[in-house]
Amino acid sequence: SITGACRAIQKLTRVRVVDNSALGNTPYHRPPKCIHVYNKTGVGKVGDKILLAIKGEKKKALIVGHKMPGPNMTPRFDSNNVVLIEDSGNPIGTRIKTPIPYTLRRREGEFSKILAIARNFV
């Protein structure tokens, strides 16, 4: 990304899709951007669902890491990472290579399928 500001994910942030889905990995002349955060505040942290605009389509996604420093003992990533998701909550990709924070395990019920495809945990 170009800007260096450390903030969590909100409307119009450029994000990085980390799973191996076709939608997330095919190159396009515009980076995927967040257009809505499903949250009371418009600020998305790890574990929040957002609406992404990729390749001219709208897709839901789950935040798995952001540049903003969080509580101590939790990891802070160098890029805003996101995993593409269906409306039902099923991930579109089949593998996630980048490390995922352990805090997502707290909501094992909602994110079980995403945690199942994740390889590394931090």
Partner 1 sequence: RVSSDGKPPKFQPPPKPVIIDRRTQKEEMRFLSPEFIPPRGRTAPLKYYIERKDMIQRRKVFNIPEFYVGDVLAVTTANPYASDKSSRFVGICIQRGGKGLGATFVLRNVIEDQGVEICYELYSPRIQAIEVLKLEKRLDENLMYLRDALPEYSTFDVNMKPVPRMDHEEIPVNKVQVRMKPKPWSKRWERPKYNIKGIKFELPEHKMQAAQKWSQPWLEFDMLREYDTSKIEEKIRKEVSEELEK
Least separation in angstroms between CB 114 and partner 1: 14
**Integer CA distances (angstroms), 64 to 21, 28, 29, 49, 61, in order:** 16, 22, 24, 10, 9
Please choose, out of 19-27, 30-38, 42-50, 65-73, the segment that lies near partner 1 by the rule CB under 8 A. 65-73
36: CB partners within 8 A, 6+ apart = 11, 50, 51
Determine, following the binding rule CB under 8 A, whether residue 78 of this chain makes contact with partner 1: yes
Determine, following the binding rule CB under 8 A, whether residue 4 of this chain makes contact with partner 1: yes
- The distance of Cα 114 from the centroid of its chain, to the nearest Å, equals 11
Determine, following the binding rule CB under 8 A, whether residue 38 of this chain makes contact with partner 1: no
* Dihedrals phi, psi of 30, to nearest 5 degrees: -125, 140
Q: Which is nearer to partner 1, 58 or 105 (CB)?
A: 105
Footprint of partner 1 (CB under 8 A) = 2, 4, 6, 18, 65, 69, 72-79, 81, 97-99, 102-103, 105-106, 120-122
